[in-house]
């Protein structure tokens, strides 16, 4: 084998069409060996003698795509000083584009001796760990281009790639749960028919199956245990872990883009799968532990952990920052993804201890001409002191708005004293974002996400039911802000089932008609249940997968959700680019404010009504003739006006339609109860008895005739229900069964 010096840049294994350059950063290493792994797990070692700026490098003309490899790093093993080099461990390349295999629970993965933790074990891990794979960078993208939906036009769908496709009856069984399945026309047609503009995937970076879960017969379903920041997860590859996962991922993205759907990745740059000081040595720990991880200043043998996973990456070191920036750019430029949701993003902001809005991480993101132009969404909290940072991220970022989730859950379960909080969140949360120059798109509104109850379980359970996780039912959040609607879990009571459907409709209507960016959890539009489990991180099975056989109530919920998404898409009043002011705007054609908050008597809310601790009802007026921001062509937007009536109380309430100055006649556009039907008309001053726990949306035409500009369509236009692409539940099976078909 010919051995050439190679280049220190780029890091990782780079195939150039003739051979492969290998480059690895380690400041602490005394010697580094590149290990080429054969199909029979044989090993050939090549010493990397060239070192520039702590980057060890070599070029091998004979190495082609598909070659498995790893590194052995020689250097000090001194945990008390923060160093854990161990050449008996075959280490992953931090820049590996593909990874083969999955580590088992063999003791050889641990650097320390189990009987004497202060001593090295010297057990070789090669046959029990993962291997990096050389890949070809070449792929025919054709005319692929990013859909580039603006935030205010976006409908984000949080989905688990495997869970979404694992049981779909119209997707070939052999490909279910893979990148190929997610790019299948059936999956894409469903997303298009729903009106989704972006899929936010749970982690697709290579992650590790936790040993303690494997011991209990469970699996890491969510994937928040990353070990490869450049590699698509190999278990989602139809062709296996031969490196083809890269090609399959790219084809999936290409297919979704062709349908106008963006791809957003949930990324975990705050920690790695190596865990705490008792965890395995797979990659970073053995390469340069003290440079990659935050260690406790007074005790360098232990890790400073703000993530609850055992370790945190050391964001203040230039090589960790380079790793993350290189990874983000790679997924944008080479894999064509459209944005990222950053898990526990507050950890990324920690340079020392406190969360710093002006940390190096944000500075570098801000000035990067590639990363700064995609969608950047923060989970704005971690488990450390001062980690809850909703509203605290820089202007470039959007955030998962946890305060929106909490307020809307409380309001729709009938909690008292929620009117002001509801109004703030419904109008885009200006109290959180406006002071830093941000707009409503800073708020990613959500009611449910992967972590917690589904929307259906939110109205079906008071308590978590997590016994299947094997942790005594003690894992998961105990404060869910849920209400079971009168019975815990599955029930035969039709009145309770009807109430649950009605309440899920209320919350979906609130989510999709709020200012900000809505995010739907996959399956909420179908009434997906996890049987009360609010922490399905380890349930890679039917508890967490989509159930595509649905009953009449689920079909009704699906049709209702599709109608709401189309309503939002058609009407700028529900997706404003600037905050509402609640006052008459200068130069506006309307003498009314852009938004008016009205009591049940149809008159503006008073301070006493806002502060009434038992008030649970509100009418909202959105003025379609008071939208100051122009469209892309600089044209003034005139839309229909809308009137929304919310009754979150447990009793029927009489609402008075507001006076003629708001509109002489209104048409029912959407109702979560059967007391009014789409197309019914009501008049100014009319008294409407609104049933308990209901939402009503009324529409009024614009001051100028509809259709005069292409940003306006009639709010009262009937929406034709989409034909279901789902397989209905078999008539012979009673609705209920294991409880999944019950609403």
**How many angstroms separate the CA atoms of 11 and 24, rounded?**
6
Give the Å distances, CA to CA, from 392 to 156, 355, 396, 467.
22, 9, 11, 36
Q: Contact at 8 Å (CB) between 82 and 90?
A: no
**How many angstroms separate the CA atoms of 682 and 246, rounded?**
57
The DSSP call for residue 636 is P
**How many angstroms separate the CA atoms of 204 and 133, rounded?**
17
Task: Tell me the DSSP string of 60-100.
Answer: ETT--TT-EEEEEEE--EEGGGTEE--TTS-B--TT-SEEE
Number of C-beta neighbours around residue 16 at 10 A: 10
Q: Sign (positive/negative) of CA torsion 460, 462, 467, 469?
A: positive
Would you call 343 a catalytic residue per the annotation? yes
Q: Contact at 8 Å (CB) between 550 and 741?
A: yes
Selection from 31, 130, 40 nearest residue 90 by Cα: 130
Q: Point out the catalytic residue in the list 43, 288, 305, 343.
A: 343
**How many angstroms separate the CA atoms of 705 and 671, rounded?**
25
CA quadruple 449, 403, 422, 670: dihedral, nearest 10: -20
Helix (H, G, I), strand (E, B) or coil at 572: helix
Helix (H, G, I), strand (E, B) or coil at 518: strand
Structure tokens at 47: 């010493």
Q: Contact at 8 Å (CB) between 128 and 88?
A: no
Q: Point out the catalytic residue in the list 274, 379, 399, 609.
A: 379
Structure tokens at 487: 């019975």
Residue positions annotated with a catalytic role: 343, 379
């Amino acid at each position: 084998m010919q051995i050439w010096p190679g280049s220190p840049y780029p890091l990782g294994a780079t195939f150039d069409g003739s051979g492969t350059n290998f480059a690895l950063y380690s400041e602490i290493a005394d010697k580094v060996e590149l290990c080429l792994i054969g199909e029979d797990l044989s090993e050939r070692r090549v010493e990397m003698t060239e070192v520039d700026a702590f980057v060890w490098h070599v070029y091998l003309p004979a190495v082609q795509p598909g070659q498995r490899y790893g590194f052995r790093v020689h250097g000090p093993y001194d945990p008390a000083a923060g160093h854990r080099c161990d050449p008996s461990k075959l280490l992953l390349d931090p820049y590996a584009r593909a990874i083969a295999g999955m580590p088992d629970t063999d003791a050889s993965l641990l650097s320390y001796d189990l009987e004497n933790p202060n001593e090295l074990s010297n057990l070789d891990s090669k046959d029990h760990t993962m291997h990096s794979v050389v890949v070809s960078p070449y792929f025919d993208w054709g005319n692929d281009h990013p859909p580039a939906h603006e935030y205010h036009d976006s409908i984000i769908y949080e989905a688990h790639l495997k869970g979404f496709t694992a049981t779909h009856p119209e997707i070939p069984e052999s490909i279910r749960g893979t990148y190929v399945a997610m790019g299948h026309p059936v999956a894409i047609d469903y997303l298009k028919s729903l009106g989704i503009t972006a899929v936010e995937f749970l982690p697709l970076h290579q992650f590790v199956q936790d040993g303690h879960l494997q011991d209990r017969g469970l699996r890491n379903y969510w994937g928040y245990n990353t070990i490869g920041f450049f590699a698509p997860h190999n278990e989602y590859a139809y062709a296996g872990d031969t490196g083809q996962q890269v090609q399959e991922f790219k084809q999936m993205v290409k297919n979704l883009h062709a349908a106008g759907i963006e791809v957003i990745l949930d990324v975990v740059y705050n920690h790695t799968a190596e865990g705490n000081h008792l965890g395995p040595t797979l990659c970073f720990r053995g390469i340069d532990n003290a440079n990659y991880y935050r260690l406790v200043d007074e005790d360098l043998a232990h890790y400073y952990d703000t993530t609850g996973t055992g370790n945190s990456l050391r964001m203040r070191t230039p090589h960790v920052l380079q790793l993350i920036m290189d990874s983000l750019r790679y997924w944008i430029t080479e894999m064509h993804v459209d944005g990222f949701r950053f898990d526990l993003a507050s950890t990324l902001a920690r340079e020392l201890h406190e969360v710093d809005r002006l940390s190096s991480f944000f500075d570098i993101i801000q000035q990067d001409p590639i990363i700064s132009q995609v969608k950047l969404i923060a989970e704005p909290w971690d488990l450390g002191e001062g980690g809850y940072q909703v509203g605290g991220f820089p202007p470039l970022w959007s955030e998962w708005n946890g305060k929106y989730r909490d307020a809307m859950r409380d309001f729709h379960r009938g909690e008292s004293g929620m009117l002001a909080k509801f109004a703030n969140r419904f109008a885009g949360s200006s109290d959180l974002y406006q002071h830093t120059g941000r707009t409503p798109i800073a708020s990613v509104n959500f009611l449910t996400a992967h972590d917690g109850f589904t929307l259906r379980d939110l109205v079906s359970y008071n308590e978590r039911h997590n016994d299947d996780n094997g942790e005594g039912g003690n894992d998961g959040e105990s404060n869910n802000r849920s209400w079971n609607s009168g019975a815990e879990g599955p029930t035969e009571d039709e009145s309770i089932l009807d109430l649950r459907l009605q309440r899920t409709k209320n919350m979906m209507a609130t989510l999709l008609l709020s200012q900000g960016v809505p995010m739907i959890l996959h399956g909420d539009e179908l009434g997906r249940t996890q049987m009360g489990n609010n922490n399905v991180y380890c349930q890679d099975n039917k508890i967490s997968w989509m159930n595509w056989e649905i009953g009449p109530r689920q079909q009704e919920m699906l049709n209702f959700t599709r109608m709401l998404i189309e309503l939002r898409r058609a009407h700028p009043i529900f997706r404003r680019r600037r905050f509402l002011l609640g006052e008459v705007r200068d130069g506006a054609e309307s003498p009314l404010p852009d938004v008016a908050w009205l009591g049940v008597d149809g008159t503006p809310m008073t301070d006493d009504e806002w502060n009434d601790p038992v008030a649970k009802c509100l009418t909202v007026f959105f003025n379609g003739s008071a939208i100051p921001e122009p469209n892309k062509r600089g044209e003034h937007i005139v839309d229909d006006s809308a009137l929304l009536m919310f009754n979150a109380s447990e009793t029927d309430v009489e609402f008075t339609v507001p006076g003629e100055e708001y509109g002489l006649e209104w048409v029912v556009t959407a109702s979560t109860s059967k007391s009014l039907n789409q197309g019914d008309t009501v008049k100014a001053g009319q008294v409407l008895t609104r049933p308990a726990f209901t939402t009503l949306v009324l529409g009024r035409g614009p001051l100028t005739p509809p259709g005069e500009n292409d940003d306006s369509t009639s709010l009262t236009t009937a929406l034709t229900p989409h034909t279901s692409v789902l397989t209905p539940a078999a008539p012979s099976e009673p609705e209920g069964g294991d409880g999944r078909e019950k609403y």
